Amino acid sequence: MSTPSMTLFHNPASPFVRKVRVLLIETGQQDRVALHDCVPTPVSPDAQVVQGNPVGKIPALRLADGNMLHDSRVILDYLDHQHVGNPLIPRDGSARWRRLTLASMADGILDAAVLTRYELALRPVEKHWAAWLDEQRHKIRRTLAELEQGAMAELASHFDIAAISAACALGYLDFRHPDLQWRADNPRLAQWYAEVSQRPSMLQTQPPA
Ligand code: BEZ
Answer whether 63's CB lies under 8 Å from 69's CB.
yes
What's the pLDDT score for residue 44? Answer: 82
Mean pLDDT on 171-195? 98
What's the pLDDT score for residue 80? Answer: 98
For residues 78 and 129, give the distance between their C-alpha atoms in angstroms, rounded to a whole number. Answer: 38
pTM of the model: 0.96
Rg (alpha carbons) of the chain, rounded to whole number? 17
HSE (CB half, 13 Å, CA atoms) of 1?
6
For residues 203 and 166, give the distance between their C-alpha atoms in angstroms, rounded to a whole number. Answer: 15
Does the pLDDT at position 132 exceed 80? yes
pLDDT digits (tens, 9 = 90+) for 141-159: 999 999 999 999 999 999 9
What's the pLDDT score for residue 1? Answer: 59
Class of the CATH domain delimited by 93-199: mainly alpha
Q: Is 60 in the pocket of ligand 1 (CB under 6 A)?
A: no
Give which of 58, 160, 173 is closest to 108, Cα–Cα.
173
Q: Is 116 in the pocket of ligand 1 (CB under 6 A)?
A: no
Q: Is 50 in the pocket of ligand 1 (CB under 6 A)?
A: no
Q: Provide the residue ranges of all domains of the chain, joining segments of one domain with +.
A: 6-80, 93-199
Residue whose Cα lies nearest atom 9 of ligand 1: it is 14
Going from the Cα of 186 to the center of ligand 1, the distance in angstroms, rounded, reads: 24
Region of 71 on the Ramachandran plot (φ > 0 left; ψ -120 to 50 alpha; else beta): beta
For residues 114 and 102, give the distance between their C-alpha atoms in angstroms, rounded to a whole number. Answer: 18
HSE (CB half, 13 Å, CA atoms) of 202?
19
What's the pLDDT score for residue 195? Answer: 98
Q: Is 186 in the pocket of ligand 1 (CB under 6 A)?
A: no
Q: What is the DSSP string of 124-181?
A: -GGG--HHHHHHHHHHHHHHHHHHHHHSHHHHHH--SHHHHHHHHHHHHHHHH-GGG-
Q: Is 11 in the pocket of ligand 1 (CB under 6 A)?
A: yes
Going from the Cα of 87 to the center of ligand 1, the distance in angstroms, rounded, reads: 28
Residue type (1 letter), 20: V
Does the pLDDT at position 47 exceed 90? no
Mean pLDDT on 94-114? 98
Does the pLDDT at position 5 exceed 90? yes
Residue whose Cα lies nearest atom 1 of ligand 1: it is 13
Q: Which CATH architecture has domain 6-80?
A: 3-Layer(aba) Sandwich (3.40)
